[in-house]
Amino acid sequence: MFGLGRSVSGGSKILREVARLQVLMGIFDKMAQHRHEQVAFCYDRVSGLRSIIAIHNTTLGPALGGTRMWPYRSEEEALDDVLRLSRGMTYKSGASGCNFGGGKAVIWGDPGRDKSELLFRALGTFVEAFDGRFITGTDVGTVADDFVWAKAVTRYLVALPEEHGGSGDSSLTTAFGVWHGIRACADEVFGKPSLRGLKVALQGVGKVGYRLCGYLLEEGAEVTVTDISKANLERTTKAYNVKVVEPDAIYDVECDIFSPNALGSIINDETIPRLRCRIVAGGANNQLAEDRHGDELHRRGILYAPDYVINAGGLIQVTEEFPVFSRERAMQRAAAIYDSLKRIFAISKRDGIPTYRAADVMVEERLKEVASGRVYVRRHGGTAGSIERS
């Protein structure tokens, strides 16, 4: 097969083989870097599907994570993204107390142009082949209706449209969890969880921010909002008694809590010096432009509620779809984000580290604990799978 040293063309074959092996080694190196368990490259000639499914860690349970569809510039970019995102899911699931691991799928394609029934059926066939080790749903570039196509061939889907058995819009559960998370922050900084009389600057009154605004006001907080959408602002000012500022002015609002519920990367070099708050806590994903901005908040004595912990309500909701969805249970578990954050704040103080790092430590401690439980099972005659995770 390798055709070692037979001819010039044999030589170029060798070079090609070496190059191929280098690519393979590169992938194993990348997997080893953050201990990914499995990466599957999925190709379907008929539909043109090119997808990568990455399973990062199944210590806590089957890998759960959405499917992102994106016109990546290269295979490598797609691979890097799926490795990064699947690892993020391990931490998000772990921090929210879900018995699920971390995984993710990416489809290399243009969501505006390349979607088809065949494409999602093909994806579903690959998901089904994991036999429950990987469960997926929507992410950037995909919507719940896409997965109705996949439903014909796989059982392992979450967040389908309600009429297809899904649990529906998750923003209510997310906002509920964020509200409880903010109460945990208030308890930590001001000595009591009540938000009465506290001033909140709320960026983004979309699906999550609007509902959150209601919870905050109900509890007696004073809320200043902003949004770039006139319609969403109007809906908010019609329903609630709030102050409104221009989008860029929200960072300068004198307040107790700055609550980002719109975009990512809004905690950065430009905005941190402008913040006039004691707490940053909101539903937006990827709030820190870089980790060092979490360090800087810590240095300035601003308590940061790690985004993937405080906004886990949506994830909690879809994990409650098994075996039959219970909204009550989902809301109870979203309320427990309060306790997760309090544990993280305790670790932050114990280890003298910023909260975004303490969140990772909390999950790593849980993974270790559960993994060592597996050791116990095996020593006593059980049949648990891979345990060498430390």
| 88, 68 Cβ separation under 8 angstroms | no
Least gap, CB of 285 to ligand NAD (angstroms): 4
Q: Which helix (H) or strand (E) holds 295?
A: helix 291-299
Radius of gyration of the chain from Cα atoms? 23
Q: Is 124 in the site for ligand NAD (CB under 6 A)?
A: no
Least gap, CB of 210 to ligand NAD (angstroms): 7
Among residues 13, 30, 104, 243, the one annotated as catalytic is 104
Tokens read off for 9: 């063309």
The residue among 201 and 205 lying less far from ligand NAD, judged by its C-beta, is 205
Which listed residue (311, 319, 340, 348) binds ligand NAD by CB under 6 A? 311
Closest CA to 216 of 193, 191, 247, 250: 193
Residue 228: half-sphere exposure toward Cβ, Cα within 13 Å: 4
Q: Is 314 in the site for ligand NAD (CB under 6 A)?
A: yes
Q: Is 375 in the site for ligand NAD (CB under 6 A)?
A: no
Residue at 281: amino acid letter: A
Q: Is 321 in the site for ligand NAD (CB under 6 A)?
A: no
Distance CA 313, CA 307 (A): 11
Which listed residue (139, 222, 227, 256) binds ligand NAD by CB under 6 A? 227
Distance CA 318, CA 273 (A): 37
List binders of ligand NAD among 162-221 (CB under 6 A): 170-171, 174, 203-209
**How far is the CA of 340 from the CAs of 95, 177, 297, 303, 368, in angstroms?**
7, 11, 20, 15, 17
Q: Is 139 in the site for ligand NAD (CB under 6 A)?
A: no
For the beta carbon of residue 10, count every other beta carbon within 10 angstroms: 12
Residue 183: half-sphere exposure toward Cβ, Cα within 13 Å: 23
List binders of ligand NAD among 73-102 (CB under 6 A): none
| 212, 259 Cβ separation under 8 angstroms | yes
Q: Is 228 in the site for ligand NAD (CB under 6 A)?
A: yes
Applying CB under 6 A, which part among 66-74, 255-263, 322-330, 367-375 lies near ligand NAD? Answer: 255-263
Please state the length of the chain: 390
13 an active-site residue? Answer: no
With CB under 6 A as the rule, give the number of residues binding ligand NAD: 24
Least gap, CB of 231 to ligand NAD (angstroms): 8
Which residues contribute to the site for ligand NAD (CB under 6 A)? 170-171, 174, 203-209, 226-229, 232, 247, 261-263, 283-285, 311, 314
Active site residues: 104
